[in-house]
Amino acid sequence: MVRPRNVNRVKKEHPIAAWEQEEFDSRTQIKRAAHAVTDLGEQLTELTKGQMAKLNIPPELAEALDTLTRISKGNAIKRQKSFIGKLLRQNEHLIIEIKAMLEEEELKRKQQNAHFHRLEMLRERLIAEGDDAIAGLMQSYPQVDRQHLRQMIRNAQKELAENKPPKASRELFKYLRSLEW
């Protein structure tokens, strides 16, 4: 007579790590969360020393991050990233601080990019429209030197017509940027 395989088998309960206390539906989700923490550790290596100092990173984690920046190739990089992920999972409060700081830095970067895009569009409009666009700029920035601005616009238009490198266009952009800072 053949016995069924699962007779008298007992399911063993495994201890759950503190960072895994959230309700996950599957082991795959747990692994994805662990990989996300490891990726977060990798993003830490891209931060400046000043940004790292703001986070109050434990010395062991700081040393591990420094080691990762010195490793250049091979499986050692993967092992070191996994080690950093392990250290981060042991310090859950640090994960929250790091995510908040990275989001804040990303927001600053996006705002700065949007600001430069607005300045570039203003420069292009000034070059395309000439004196007509200057009036709108004068309303926003009354301190603008109108003669100097007109000269820079004319130089940029001349460069554009002659297919020269955009030296005057860059100078115009710098001037517009100096008006707002």
Which bin fits 130, alpha (ψ -120 to 50), beta or left (φ > 0)?
left
**What pLDDT score does 137 carry?**
86
Give the pLDDT mean for 120-142. Answer: 88
Residue with more model confidence, 145 or 2: 145
What's 20's DSSP letter?
A: G
User: What is the distance between the alpha carbons of residues 42 and 148, in angstroms, rounded to a whole number?
Assistant: 48
Rounded mean pLDDT of 130-154? 88
- Confidence (pLDDT) at 175: 92
Mean pLDDT computed over 162-170: 91
The whole-number average pLDDT for the span 79-98 is 89
CATH of segment(s) 109-180: 1.10.60.30
Q: Which among 27, 19, 61, 18 is positioned nearest to 41, based on CA atoms?
A: 61
CA distance 181 to 152: 19
Q: How confident is the model at residue 47 (pLDDT cuts 50, 70, 90)?
A: confident
Task: Report the predicted TM-score, pTM, of the whole model to 2 decimal places.
Answer: 0.64
pLDDT of residue 72: 85
> Rounded mean pLDDT of the chain?
85
Q: With a cut of 70, say whether residue 11 has pLDDT above it.
A: no
Average pLDDT over residues 90-106: 88
Q: Is CATH 1.10.60 correct for 22-90?
A: yes
Question: Model confidence at 9, in pLDDT bands (50, 70, 90)?
Answer: low
Residue ranges of the domains in the chain? Answer: 22-90, 109-180
Please indicate whether the domains covering 22-90 and 109-180 agree at the CATH topology level. yes
pLDDT digits (tens, 9 = 90+) for 26-39: 788 888 888 888 99
**Mean pLDDT along residues 141-155:** 90
The whole-angstrom separation of Cα 122 and Cα 149 is 13
pLDDT number for residue 18: 52
Coil/strand/helix, residue 173: helix
